[in-house]
Amino acid sequence: MQARDYSANETLRNGRAVEIRALRPEDRAGLLAAVSRTSDQSLYRRFFAFKRGFTEHEIAFYLNVDFVGHVALIALLDEDGQQVIVGGCRYIVVQPGQAEVAFAVDDAHQGQGVGTVLMRHLVAIARNAGLKELIADVLPGNTAMLKVFRASGLDIKTEQEPEATHLVLHLT
Protein backbone atom coordinates (compact mmCIF):
# COMPACT_ATOMS: atom_id res chain seq x y z
CA MET A 1 0.00 0.00 0.00
CA GLN A 2 1.30 3.44 -0.94
CA ALA A 3 1.82 5.82 2.00
CA ARG A 4 -0.66 8.33 0.52
CA ASP A 5 -3.36 5.61 0.54
CA TYR A 6 -2.47 4.27 3.98
CA SER A 7 -5.37 3.19 6.18
CA ALA A 8 -5.57 0.75 9.10
CA ASN A 9 -7.93 0.04 11.96
CA GLU A 10 -6.77 -0.49 15.53
CA THR A 11 -8.24 -0.85 18.98
CA LEU A 12 -7.21 1.56 21.73
CA ARG A 13 -6.57 0.59 25.37
CA ASN A 14 -10.15 1.50 26.27
CA GLY A 15 -11.53 -0.82 23.57
CA ARG A 16 -12.51 1.95 21.13
CA ALA A 17 -11.86 1.48 17.43
CA VAL A 18 -9.56 4.04 15.84
CA GLU A 19 -8.72 4.51 12.17
CA ILE A 20 -5.16 5.48 11.30
CA ARG A 21 -4.90 6.91 7.81
CA ALA A 22 -2.97 9.23 5.56
CA LEU A 23 -3.74 12.92 5.97
CA ARG A 24 -5.59 14.42 3.00
CA PRO A 25 -6.02 18.05 1.91
CA GLU A 26 -9.75 17.76 2.59
CA ASP A 27 -8.93 17.15 6.29
CA ARG A 28 -8.28 20.89 6.74
CA ALA A 29 -11.41 21.66 8.83
CA GLY A 30 -10.96 18.54 10.95
CA LEU A 31 -7.29 19.30 11.58
CA LEU A 32 -8.02 22.89 12.57
CA ALA A 33 -10.84 21.68 14.83
CA ALA A 34 -8.42 19.25 16.53
CA VAL A 35 -5.98 22.11 17.15
CA SER A 36 -8.79 24.22 18.64
CA ARG A 37 -9.58 21.37 21.10
CA THR A 38 -5.95 21.07 22.16
CA SER A 39 -4.69 22.94 25.21
CA ASP A 40 -2.01 25.61 25.08
CA GLN A 41 0.28 23.29 27.07
CA SER A 42 -0.13 20.41 24.60
CA LEU A 43 0.46 22.74 21.65
CA TYR A 44 3.57 24.09 23.38
CA ARG A 45 4.88 20.52 23.75
CA ARG A 46 4.36 20.00 20.01
CA PHE A 47 5.65 23.32 18.65
CA PHE A 48 8.05 24.40 21.44
CA ALA A 49 6.25 27.75 21.47
CA PHE A 50 2.83 29.07 22.41
CA LYS A 51 0.90 28.64 19.19
CA ARG A 52 -2.82 29.10 18.91
CA GLY A 53 -3.24 30.13 15.27
CA PHE A 54 -1.62 29.26 11.98
CA THR A 55 -0.97 31.30 8.87
CA GLU A 56 -2.35 30.09 5.52
CA HIS A 57 1.22 29.21 4.56
CA GLU A 58 1.64 27.03 7.68
CA ILE A 59 -1.72 25.34 7.12
CA ALA A 60 -0.74 24.57 3.52
CA PHE A 61 2.58 23.12 4.73
CA TYR A 62 0.88 20.82 7.24
CA LEU A 63 -1.87 19.69 4.85
CA ASN A 64 -0.12 19.31 1.50
CA VAL A 65 2.29 16.47 2.11
CA ASP A 66 3.96 14.56 -0.72
CA PHE A 67 4.21 11.18 1.10
CA VAL A 68 7.85 10.89 0.06
CA GLY A 69 9.85 13.47 1.99
CA HIS A 70 6.89 14.48 4.16
CA VAL A 71 4.45 11.86 5.48
CA ALA A 72 1.49 12.58 7.79
CA LEU A 73 -1.00 10.26 9.46
CA ILE A 74 -4.11 11.06 11.48
CA ALA A 75 -6.08 9.13 14.09
CA LEU A 76 -9.87 9.21 13.70
CA LEU A 77 -12.46 8.24 16.30
CA ASP A 78 -16.21 8.05 15.94
CA GLU A 79 -17.70 10.77 18.15
CA ASP A 80 -21.51 10.84 18.04
CA GLY A 81 -21.59 9.40 14.51
CA GLN A 82 -18.91 11.76 13.15
CA GLN A 83 -15.31 10.86 12.31
CA VAL A 84 -13.16 13.22 14.41
CA ILE A 85 -9.40 13.75 14.16
CA VAL A 86 -8.00 13.18 17.65
CA GLY A 87 -4.30 12.98 16.85
CA GLY A 88 -1.69 13.02 14.19
CA CYS A 89 1.94 12.39 13.46
CA ARG A 90 4.34 13.12 10.66
CA TYR A 91 7.88 12.71 9.55
CA ILE A 92 9.93 14.98 7.37
CA VAL A 93 13.09 13.65 5.77
CA VAL A 94 16.01 15.83 6.86
CA GLN A 95 18.76 13.88 5.10
CA PRO A 96 18.93 10.58 3.23
CA GLY A 97 17.84 7.78 5.55
CA GLN A 98 16.78 10.08 8.39
CA ALA A 99 13.53 11.89 9.20
CA GLU A 100 12.34 14.09 12.03
CA VAL A 101 9.07 13.02 13.68
CA ALA A 102 6.38 14.95 15.52
CA PHE A 103 3.16 13.89 17.24
CA ALA A 104 0.09 15.55 18.71
CA VAL A 105 -3.00 14.15 20.43
CA ASP A 106 -5.85 16.35 21.61
CA ASP A 107 -6.15 16.55 25.37
CA ALA A 108 -9.41 14.59 25.67
CA HIS A 109 -7.80 11.54 24.04
CA GLN A 110 -4.36 11.55 25.65
CA GLY A 111 -3.41 8.48 27.67
CA GLN A 112 -5.55 6.12 25.59
CA GLY A 113 -2.78 4.79 23.33
CA VAL A 114 -3.40 7.06 20.32
CA GLY A 115 0.26 8.17 20.21
CA THR A 116 1.49 4.58 20.54
CA VAL A 117 -0.72 3.40 17.67
CA LEU A 118 0.32 6.34 15.48
CA MET A 119 3.98 5.59 16.25
CA ARG A 120 3.65 1.96 15.18
CA HIS A 121 2.14 2.89 11.82
CA LEU A 122 4.56 5.75 11.15
CA VAL A 123 7.49 3.42 11.85
CA ALA A 124 6.08 0.85 9.39
CA ILE A 125 5.82 3.50 6.66
CA ALA A 126 9.31 4.83 7.44
CA ARG A 127 10.81 1.35 7.22
CA ASN A 128 8.97 0.69 3.97
CA ALA A 129 10.42 3.94 2.61
CA GLY A 130 13.94 2.76 3.47
CA LEU A 131 14.57 5.16 6.33
CA LYS A 132 17.19 4.10 8.88
CA GLU A 133 16.53 6.61 11.69
CA LEU A 134 13.84 8.80 13.11
CA ILE A 135 14.87 11.77 15.20
CA ALA A 136 12.91 13.89 17.65
CA ASP A 137 13.41 16.65 20.16
CA VAL A 138 11.16 16.34 23.20
CA LEU A 139 10.68 18.91 25.94
CA PRO A 140 11.86 17.62 29.34
CA GLY A 141 8.35 17.75 30.83
CA ASN A 142 6.76 15.79 27.99
CA THR A 143 6.96 12.42 29.73
CA ALA A 144 4.02 11.01 27.74
CA MET A 145 5.87 11.45 24.43
CA LEU A 146 9.08 10.02 25.87
CA LYS A 147 7.03 7.02 27.03
CA VAL A 148 5.61 6.52 23.50
CA PHE A 149 9.12 6.50 22.04
CA ARG A 150 10.43 4.12 24.73
CA ALA A 151 7.47 1.76 24.22
CA SER A 152 8.16 1.58 20.46
CA GLY A 153 10.61 -1.28 20.88
CA LEU A 154 13.17 0.58 18.78
CA ASP A 155 16.81 1.02 19.78
CA ILE A 156 16.99 4.61 21.04
CA LYS A 157 19.93 6.88 21.64
CA THR A 158 19.16 9.91 23.82
CA GLU A 159 21.13 13.06 24.36
CA GLN A 160 20.02 15.42 27.10
CA GLU A 161 20.30 19.05 26.11
CA PRO A 162 19.30 22.01 28.30
CA GLU A 163 16.08 22.76 26.37
CA ALA A 164 15.11 19.27 25.18
CA THR A 165 15.92 15.59 24.99
CA HIS A 166 17.23 14.68 21.55
CA LEU A 167 16.34 11.13 20.48
CA VAL A 168 17.58 9.00 17.62
CA LEU A 169 15.41 5.95 16.99
CA HIS A 170 17.07 3.25 14.91
CA LEU A 171 14.73 1.47 12.49
CA THR A 172 17.14 -1.29 11.49
Q: Where are the beta strands (DSSP E) in the chain?
A: 7-11, 17-22, 70-79, 82-95, 98-105, 133-138, 155-160, 165-170
Give me the pLDDT at residue 133, please. 97
- Domain range for 7 is 3-170
- How many structural domains is the chain composed of? 1
Give me the pLDDT at residue 163, please. 84
How far the first Cα of the chain sits from its last, in Å, is 21
Q: What does the pLDDT profile of the chain (172 residues) look like in tens digits?
A: 789 999 999 999 999 999 999 999 999 888 878 777 766 666 656 655 555 567 777 778 788 899 999 999 999 999 889 999 999 999 999 999 999 998 888 888 888 999 999 999 999 999 999 999 999 988 877 888 889 999 999 999 999 888 888 999 999 8
The CATH number of the domain where 147 resides is what? 3.40.630.30
Q: Which residues of 91-129 are buried (b: 16+ CB within 10 A; e: fewer)?
A: bebeeeebbebbbbbbeebbebbbbbbbbbbbbebbeeb
Chain centroid to CA 17: 18
35 Cβ contact list (under 8 Å, min separation 6):
43, 54
Give pTM, 2 decimals: 0.89
118 Cβ contact list (under 8 Å, min separation 6):
20, 73, 75, 87, 88, 89, 103, 105
